[in-house]
Structure 1
Amino acid sequence: MAKKHAPVAIGIDIGGTGIKGGLVNLNKGKLVGERQKVKTPEGAPIDAVLSAVAELRDKILAQDEAKGGDYPIGMCMPSVVRRGVAYSAANIADEWIGFDAAAAFSEHLGQPVSLVNDADAAGYGEAKFGHAKDPRGSLLVITLGTGIGSALIHNGKLVPNTELGHLSVGDHDDYEKYASAKVREREDVPLEEWATERLTPYFAKLEQLFSPDLFIVSGGISKQAADFLPHIAIQTRIDAAELTNNAGIVGAALLAQEGWD
């Protein structure tokens, strides 16, 4: 009997400074070959990003591991995405707003693509292959970085575009402007103080609204989880993410295989 190969898809994660991607083994949530990256064009206008994504796709397929295969493509970007249309623009050009991005990427790449919000993709990847592999119940993945991203997973299914970083909490109408990791760094707030005075009210609000079974904190700052997570005073368990910067790539590839629209 011929050996059955694991399903593989391409995941592409569009960021404000870099566009990264790779082949993903969908049984293991691991990259096949090397992660590839190109620079995000200055200002991230539509036409230039379309070309950069095509360049990245070609670099991924040029690897020996690709072997000329025809792979599903899943993508994520820093935008609210509904049925392929971008409805916001974070660190990308405003011309994306209202633009049918999925259709444009599909046309430019010559095959259908799926497209989701970047935090949703990263959260979904983490839920499937990271710390919380139990598909039951509700999981909230919160990314602390330039802003605050969120992904809500219920019974293994993604509830997209939650954008919970923009909640109004206390005197702050857009809470990520007060409590993101970038703000903490810019204002030189000690980790313990950040957790106690800024993150605790935020996670308490999320706890009140969603009553999740588990919080996962991701983003580069999660590497320092031991220095701040114990100081977030809530009842719900809160853990650091296991997946690194590949979470968006993995999640986007998974959603492509699942036919996300």
Structure 2
Amino acid sequence: MPVREKEQTSSNVLSIDIGGTSIKACILSEDGTPLSEFQKIPTPKNSTPEAVISCIKELVVCLADDFARISVGFPGYVRFGKVETAPNLARNKWTNVELAQQISNLFDKPVRLINDADQQALGIASGSGFEIVVTVGTGFGTAMVYDGELLPHFELAHLPVTKTKDYDDYIGTKALEKIGKKDWNDRLESIIETYKTVFNYDTLYIGGGNSKHITLELDHNIKLVTNKDGIKGGAKLWQVAEKYHVHTTYPNKK
């Protein structure tokens, strides 16, 4: 039985951001204006699909029942509404998971599911030039935008940095806890220098829960952003999704 049965006439969007550390949600207007408080709860340690769905239900209870569509940012590779990978959630529990369908059935609303960094980029990027959004949190999220066009998702987090580490291992939360803030900032500075050389970006945005630990001096074209900025991409996703071939999942009707 869906949690929400009442027919909605609004064009508001429930925007959800699933992270390795916390799960966030708020209600947005069609143009991305927040209409509710920004709610978040810790991601469960045993972050199985069932546990994550339960957290989403708990979050939405705190929000107004006035949304017609749902956007979900997910920390992994998604395709046609299904989760294929989730490196920072429960191990071996997220292969071929129909997450969009489960959420659509739960709330009886259409759902669009996208990589979490891509959704953040839609909410943050200015639309001018070549822009990169990275998130430093449990792992290392990346998204690229060129003149407002979201580029296909690149899993740069899994590029090797050493023989044994990828970017997730090198700059994620476990690395921060192991090596401390000073060395972690040194690593981030090294990544930024590599990005400057390889990508020649116009603007680099840095968000994620660990961005609060950044102490290095940033160039004029590097901007710190918040999860609240990024979650606004949930509204943009419904304006531009056809362009990016994002799948829309509709509730199963019995």
Short-chain TM bin: 0.7 to 0.9
Aligned positions, number: 233
Partner residue of 1:46? 49
Shift in alpha-carbon separation, 1:34–1:91, aligned structure 2, 3 A: same
Whether 2:238 is the aligned partner of 1:256: answer yes
After superposition, residues 148-227 of structure 1 pair within 5 angstroms as 148-169=140-161, 171=163, 173-180=165-172, 182-190=174-182, 194-196=184-186, 198-223=187-212, 225=214, 227=215
Q: Is the contact made by 2:13 and 2:30 (CA closer than 8 Å) also made in structure 1?
A: yes
After superposition, residues 2-13 of structure 1 pair within 5 angstroms as 8-13=12-17
Deviations 1:228-255 (A, max 9, x none): 134x8xxxx641223x222342222321
Whether 2:119 is the aligned partner of 1:121: answer yes
Partner residue of 1:112? 110
Partner residue of 2:19? 15
Shift in alpha-carbon separation, 1:245–1:47, aligned structure 2, 3 A: same
Partner residue of 2:99? 101
Task: Give the superposition deviation at 1:41.
Answer: 4.3
Deviations 1:85-104 (A, max 9, x none): 21211332332212222122
User: What are structure 2's unaligned runs of at least 5 residues?
Assistant: 1-9, 248-254
Percentage of matched positions with identical amino acids: 33
Q: Is the contact made by 2:11 and 2:68 (CA closer than 8 Å) also made in structure 1?
A: no
Amino acid at match of 1:228: L
Partner residue of 1:229? 217
Shift in alpha-carbon separation, 1:41–1:222, aligned structure 2, 3 A: closer
TM-score where L is the length of structure 2: 0.77
Counterpart secondary structure, 1:33: coil
Amino acid at match of 2:69: P
In 2, Cα distance between equivalents of 1:183 and 1:212:
26
In 2, Cα distance between equivalents of 1:115 and 1:99:
12
| Aligned residue among 13, 25, 31 for 2:29 | 25
| Aligned residue among 217, 228, 245 for 1:246 | 228
In 1, Cα distance between equivalents of 2:55 and 2:74:
13
In 1, Cα distance between equivalents of 2:24 and 2:213:
24
RMSD: 2.8
